[in-house]
Amino acid sequence: MNRILLLLLLFPTALPAQELAGAAPDSAPVPPYVEDPPASFSWKIVHAPRPPAPDAPSLPATVHFLKESKLSRTPSAMRIVKTWSDGVTTEEWRYQSLTLFTQPNSGEIYVMEESDSLRASFATMSTSAFPEFSWINAASYVGTETYNGSPAYVFAQAAVADSPISPSTGRRAIEAHPALKAWIDVKTKLPLAYDDGVALHTYEMGQPPSTPLVPSAAFLDRIEKYKKEIASLKHERLKL
């Protein structure tokens, strides 16, 4: 037998572990740990509630939960359509520095009131498509896994209990949160899934909107009504 062929049969050519596994990169991820998608983008999140703990109190049958969120954004707007477990669909817009949303039962449109804290919150939501991953950092990186066939960076954070309330500030230095775990696609650095202890949220990236996002007439009318209400309040204050 050909000597070279014999060597190949006895000692097959080794492939890099990464190629065999189809997953793990050789090095830890570097910032940004989660990429922000293009200004025009769309994605879907499927929400699957975690089973309650054995000792948890039973929830009434009427309690409904979020099943799916469809999000689309352009440089000037973001639209979120939410589907609930009882079949109800609600709609939310971030438009003209306002957050508008429909009330599940009545369908009435609400406008989030302006304040410094809300402006900061809106700025965070507008500049980052995935603010739910803001806790991710180098310290929370734990390794790699294959998630639904995709190589993923894995980040985790242990559950934290409330710290005592400070007598001087009346606030807690540490707020409680459950254990967190996130899977981020190695190639794109876009989310694959997120477990917040309450539900497993699975992400599916879509195509950018083909046309500009503009709220329906009902939302635009509510914006105009809101602006008139604010103008009237300012006018009344000037009289004082």
The pLDDT score that the predictor gives to residue 118 is 52
pTM for the full model?
0.76
The pLDDT > 90 percentage for the chain reads 55
Give the chain's domains with CATH numbers.
Answer: 32-50+64-239 (2.50.20)
pLDDT, tens digit, 9 for 90 and up, residues 82-121: 999 999 999 999 998 899 999 887 889 999 865 544 554 5
Distances (CA, A) of 222 to 19, 75, 218, 226, 229: 55, 21, 6, 6, 10
CA distance 158 to 239: 54
Contact of 195 with 159, CB cutoff 8 Å: no
Contact of 227 with 235, CB cutoff 8 Å: no
Report the DSSP beta bridge partners of residue 135. Answer: none
Residue 216, pLDDT above cutoff 70: yes
The pLDDT score that the predictor gives to residue 169 is 67
Phi and psi for 159 in degrees, rounded to 5? -65, 145
For the chain, how many residues are written? 240
**Average pLDDT score over the chain:** 81
Cis? peptide before 32, omega within 30° of 0: yes
